[in-house]
Structure 1
């Protein structure tokens, strides 16, 4: 591994201005992540939400017409202790479940057993809840 690269620092999400508060509330309220800092720069609001382990989700609003389409390729994977609980939580809040929790064994050497579930976030992003077995 490159000794200069220490890991992923953040994943950026750019919701439409009208969705900024909803997106921030999803991560800080429903998922109970810590709002590390927030700002306004050149008229656009931004937030940095701690995802634990030194990783963050950066949320920066864009003009409503400039947001990515709902079929965006952003993929967030949260390392969790209980995939089923997180899927239940987002389902109960009315979010779309893309993949129900399921066990997967990746055919690596050695085999890698995981439990995953996916939902659609408030900005159209795909969110994975990933649990090592």
Structure 2
């Protein structure tokens, strides 16, 4: 059985809080999705989660510059064990950008997670996301 159980979210990095608020307004008030979480993460900026009904969009207000078309921050995979998932990438010889670490997101309710970041075959950033 695979430790990877599916897609968790796709992250978009907004250029500042104003753009992030506009993105939230669009996804929630125009498309009808629902904001389910929001908090400030020390060193990373403001974060919000939008439930689309079949997946989640994670927003950050920390983009350094405007992005080109088709650019996402990262995709996140839901896993049973972050440590085991990272080993799958390591065995493939793929780069491990950050080893598994435990975090508590100051959302309502608080979210206990274990995450790591790895690189896929096309150089894409993949977050390994384990809820605890």
TM-score between the two structures when normalised by the length of structure 1: 0.47
